[in-house]
């Protein structure tokens, strides 16, 4: 058997000059894209101050809402509210206002809901009567809610 037939080569970064540079450029570009995607997702959810939002939550929302997933008050727990289907809070079956909802909670939808819950529901009755008219306060509350996911 000749040595010539036993030798195999594979193409890879080491087999061509500049292969490592191309690999590094590709990896750097991919990492940059992933960072930008992560920033875009986070910025949609967190435009306000979570610390101010927590204070607002304690002052205005905690009377009706919990932050622990297994506990509820008059309103559902808001733990994990982002990307949760509306009206589907685990362990909370007392409220029917959002039954049949086909959307998930996003920062944009939470902003509209907090601004005018009844208007958000097209005039239907809702237990949620509190309105947060100030856009900065809504952003702060939403930033805090994002930390509960």
Q: pLDDT tens for residues 24-77?
A: 465 555 554 444 444 344 444 458 999 999 999 999 999 999 998 877 788 888
Residue 99 covered by a domain: yes
Q: Give pLDDT, residue 94.
A: 60
Residue 148 has pLDDT above 90, yes or no: yes
Q: Give pLDDT, residue 45.
A: 46
Count structural domains, the chain.
Answer: 1
- Per DSSP, helices labelled H in 46-116 are 50-56, 107-115
Domain containing residue 115: 48-146
E strands along 5-90, which residues? none
The domain that holds 65 is classified in CATH as 1.10.760.10
Whether this model's pTM surpasses 0.85: no
């Amino acid at each position: 058997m000749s040595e010539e037939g036993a030798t195999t080569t594979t193409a890879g970064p080491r087999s061509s000059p500049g292969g490592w540079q191309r690999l590094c450029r590709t990896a750097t570009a991919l990492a940059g894209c992933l960072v930008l995607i992560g920033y875009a997702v986070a910025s949609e959810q967190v435009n306000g101050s979570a610390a101010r939002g927590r204070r607002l939550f304690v002052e205005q929302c905690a009377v009706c809402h919990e932050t622990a997933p297994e506990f509820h008050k008059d309103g559902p727990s808001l733990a994990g509210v982002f990307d949760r289907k509306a009206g589907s809070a685990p362990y909370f079956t007392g409220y029917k206002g959002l039954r049949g909802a086909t959307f998930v909670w996003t920062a944009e939808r939470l902003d509209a809901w907090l601004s005018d819950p009844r208007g958000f529901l097209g005039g239907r009755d809702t237990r949620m009567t509190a309105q947060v008219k100030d856009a900065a306060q809504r952003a702060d509350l939403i930033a805090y809610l994002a930390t509960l996911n």
